[in-house]
Structure 1
Amino acid sequence: MNRHALPRLALAVALVACFGGPAALAQDDPHDLHQGHGQHAPALPTATDEADVDHSQHRPAAADDSGTDHAAMGHSMDHAGMDHSTMDHSGMDATAAPTQPRVPIPPLTDADRAAAFPELHHTMHHGDGVHGFLLVDRLEAWDGDHGTGQGWELQGWLGGDINRAWLRSEGEREGGETHAADIELLYGRAVSAWWDVVAGVRHDFAPGDSRSWAAVGVQGLAPYMFETQATAYFGESGRVEAVIEVEYELLLTNRLILQPAVEATFTGRDDADRGVASGLSSSEAGLRLRYEFTRRFAPYVGLVHERSHGGTADLRRDAGEPVHDTRWVVGLRTWF
């Protein structure tokens, strides 16, 4: 043996004797030695007394367990022996969607439908007392092939929710002459949520001599939001006339509204004084586009076409009057 090796061997024996022999050196945590910059960590307990030791006092929170012998510490990591059927894996699959809502939605019942859409009765009032309303639906002018002209159509009521007095009037002037004008005073009673029955009188100022009619009809809101008026008129000498008017409001925007309207007049017998014959005597179709600056102030532009039919058209030809007329109109719609 080399003489220089003897001192080294003696030093090694002394170190082993001082620190408890090879078993103690084998239990040193190499990471604790590295973190302590060369200082030796205290010896860990053996497997026999491990249950009595608090491991949290010997291992740092960020310690690396890669060098620790878990088998000696009594922790079994054998996953093959674990019962996975008892483990809840529902939170592990993030893509799986539940088949039912967390809070089940109850099925829709007849009671729910009745609550959402209550049936309106005559006993349901908007308020007690007498109220009134006046709508000037058409107040317009035009410059057509047969001269300038003006036209109007208005209706209003006074009363409550069930019983009302109605006022209706319409007419036309062209070339400084009144071609048609009438006024109606009617009593109306609501018979359903959307329909009224009306009865009263109508007085014609033109064409021809003034005359009066008894009137009866219905008015209201037909399915698909069509405003409808159907009125029959009974005059002297068995004269009968029926007028049907339907209009619809198409909201292009909250303020820009397109209003198509169709009106047809039927006559029961020939009336030469008024220039009408039996059957479908005349019809009118209009398309008006209005802009509501406010709900009460809405100017509009429109296109109107009028036509006479059957025997009425023949009577107008014989009198040298036009059978049909198409014109652009400008006007105002307002209400009070």
Structure 2
Amino acid sequence: MRLLVVMLLAGAATPVFAQDHSGHAMAPAQSATQTDCGKEAAHHRAMGHPVPEGACVPEAQPAEPASSDHADGHAGMDHSTMGHEGMQSPQAPTDHGTMDHGATDMTPIPQGSPPASAGSGPPRAADAIWGAEAMRASRRALRTENGGMNVFWFQGDRAEYRAREGGDGYLWDVQGYYGGDFDKFWFKSEGEGTFGESPESAEIQGLWSHAIGPWWDLQAGVRQDLTGPERTHAVIGVQGLAPYMFEVDAAAFLSTKGDLTARIEAELDQRITQRLILQPRAEANLSAQDIPELGIGAGLDSIELGLRLRYEFVREFAPYIGVEQEWQLGQSADYKRLAGEDPSVTNYVVGVRFWF
């Protein structure tokens, strides 16, 4: 009986930690000294004070080595996709040379003429697919739609009231054409006079106009005078755009009476704004002989210099104001004086320029 009681007491006194923990890695127990140091350091930190230099600080415990199973479990994990706050995966350096910056195209524009191979194909390759007859009609339509059409154009270059000493007057200068890029029928008319009197001059021209270059037309036709001793003239001249954007109209006239005269007109549009335009203009008339019945002397007959400022409400409609000075020269000036007129006249003009 005594032996049984002793055995029962021995079994009850066995410590709990005496169980089998062979499957777990046990952390080494801390010494009493390390525990006391930890309490002292924690006390300083709880008071908001730094731990004094030389104070008892617990030694850092060596990190527990990961077991091979634990290491293997993390070896294949991609931490860049984990949602751990504060963790960042290393990034590869950015190659700015290969970045696409949107619409910026840095491809260089080819210079020089195209290679010979660009035109090496057959000139009528489409005939093999659609047939020569179908392509002939297509090419005819292409030529018509890209310069072969006939168009009508009309412009009132000057339609103006002229305030001047000795009686206010008027002037018209219109022109237009019907035709294509190379050949046109061109018509012109101009004249002037004093209000309450018969027109001083009036004429109309009908011309065939043929393009002799990108900027110039050769013109030939007839001119009919409508006032004074009526005359019919053969006309030959050129009209176009001279260097520096001067619009030039030059023509020679041979009348049925054998009189040879010439006229040169030039004007230049100087844009102050997109709608406000200053236009200087010059005109010179010449004659190969005296024509007393027309009041024209040989040589340089007259010169006109004008300056007009117009405003284009639309391109087709532009009122203007300006001033123009006229001089009769040489024998023509003498004819003016004999008629009781001043060979030099200043005109203050108000008019409109239009086209359609």
Question: What TM-score results when the alignment is normalised by the length of structure 1?
Answer: 0.67
For residues 163 and 25 of structure 1, the distance between their equivalents in structure 2, rounded to whole angstroms, comes to 115
Deviation at 1:260, TM superposition (A): 1.2
Higher CA-based Rg = 2
One-letter amino acid of the structure 1 residue matched with residue 338 of structure 2: D
Q: 1:285 aligns with which of 299, 305, 311?
A: 305
Of 185, 201, 206 in structure 2, the residue corresponding to residue 180 of structure 1 is 201
2:246 to 223, 226, 235: 226
Matched residue, 1:260? 280
SS at structure 2 position matched to 1:241? strand
1:242 matched to 2:262? The reply is yes
User: Structure 2 CA distance, aligned partners of 1:296 and 1:61?
Assistant: 72
**Shift of residue 236, structure 1, vs aligned partner:** 2.9
Could you tell me which runs of 5 or more consecutive residues in structure 2 were left unpaired when the two chains were aligned: 1-27, 52-56, 72-78, 87-92, 97-103, 116-142
Residue 109 to residue 241, structure 1, CA distance change in 2 (3 Å): same
Instruction: Name the CA distance, whole Å, in 2 between partners of 1:146 and 1:130.
Output: 46
- 1:24/1:43 contact within 8 Å kept: no
Match of 2:319, SS state, is: strand
Q: Which amino acid aligns with 1:168?
A: K
Q: What stretches of structure 1 of length at least 5 have no aligned partner?
A: 1-16, 63-87, 92-100, 113-122
| Structure 1 partner of 2:62 | 44
1:22-75 deviation per Cα after TM superposition (whole angstroms, max 9, x unaligned): 89999xxx89x969x9997971349xx79x998x9xxx998xxxxxxxxxxxxx
Seen in structure 2, the aligned counterparts of structure 1 residues 146 and 253 have a Cα distance that, compared at 3 Å, is: same
Q: 2:156 aligns with which of 130, 136, 160?
A: 136
| Counterpart residue number, 1:295 | 315
Note the C-alpha offset of 1:111: 5.3
Provide TM-score, normalisation by structure 2.
0.64
Shift of 1:139: 0.8
Residue of structure 1 aligned with 2:222, choices 178, 184, 201: 201
Distance 1:124 1:261, change over 3 A: farther
Contact 1:202 1:215 survives alignment (8 Å): yes
Q: How far did residue 160 of structure 1 move?
A: 1.6
* % identical equivalent positions: 36
Q: Give the Å deviation of 1:19.
A: 2.0
Q: How many residues get paired?
A: 264
Contact 2:34 2:58 in 1 (8 A): no
Give SS of 1:254's match. coil
Equivalences for residues 1-336 of structure 1 within 5 A:
19-20=30-31, 43-45=61-63, 103=106, 105=108, 108-110=111-113, 126-175=146-195, 176-206=197-227, 208-336=228-356
